[in-house]
Structure 1
Amino acid sequence: MTTGHGSRYRFGERLPCGAVVEDVLAQVADGHAARRNSHQAGCPHCQAALAEYDRLWAPVREVADVAVRPPESPLQAALRRIRGTVHNPTYGVLADDDGQTRIAARVVVVTAREAAQDVPGVRVALSRLHRPGGGSVGQENAVRVGMAGQSTAIVLTVAATYGTDLYELAERIRIAVDEQVRAVTGLEPVAITIDIDDVFAAHSDIALSD
């Protein structure tokens, strides 16, 4: 975790996945934050950004709802905070009157992996950190996270014990990951996607690695 302040925003900036920030913000401003195109449906970066921008845009929306021209101060405050998230694509940011606390995506990756690993029925939960511009560190099975302000979207891949109710297992993993990420980091998991890509017999030996 580190503390600090964001840099100046430049028009045309993109999220780590390549999505244009202005396009995502326009989607939120038009009231369509809950909609997902084919890319956004599987992209934790877009999911986190949509949730965070929607949260930060709420004061502007509230003023607009009472048919009053939005004063400059709420609008500018929302834009400033949204722009600030662009410069921290691999960090979650918690801000208060004393400054900012930045939490690395790697912290969320490890926290989610450890929480999932403790759920009965999970045999393997490995992690991989996707970096802006491509490339990754870790194994094929992964925890992928998108970061935007205090919002994070998580995609977790696991292997399960054969015979386990996989739907119920996924729900238990989601609850465990949500609670642990909130408790450890203070960030808000806005989407937790569980991919179960293999099953193993209960008596089989599996070597776990970081």
Structure 2
Amino acid sequence: MAVEQLEPLACGRDAADVWEHADAGALDDHERTCPHCRSAWADHDRLGVLVTRMAEESRESLRPPPSVLAQVMGAVVADLRPHELLEIGPDAWLSRPAAEAALRHAVDTMGGLRALRCRVEQETGEPDGTGVGPRPVWVRVTVAARFGVDLASVTARVRQMIVTVGERAIGVPVTGVDIHVEDLWE
């Protein structure tokens, strides 16, 4: 199975390399001063804080306010058809809407874009080539962009963020990300 090569940042650097250098505390002069690399580095830090906070929260602290619970229950009752599930392990499954919500949230934490819609498609066939892990997914996300944002740079960062969230938070490899910019805001 071929893994899609992600687009580089607008400056030509690979966001994954910048993230690795930031983790190792080994950013070079370009990465410390380049606005594109700094944005990728900031996205990495925000994702790390978010994932760490989610991992540390106890189940008790995750109680939603009553209004949210009522809205969710209303949606569940209104939509009784079973949702398609994504395989995330040998005997582990995740609902597609839950995975899509997590990816939309990751996009929304980034500056310059807001997620409108997200669709996750799990590939058919054998799991990850080893026969052990989950089958990879392809993500299609529709976004609104802030007017004046560097679309090439921000979409490259979004791709990297979605790949990372898919692998680290959801537990499935992401082989591709399609981003459709549908709207602008000031």
Higher Rg of the two aligned structures: 1
Where on the TM-score scale, by shorter chain, does this alignment land: which range? Answer: 0.3 to 0.5
TM-score, normalization by structure 2 = 0.48
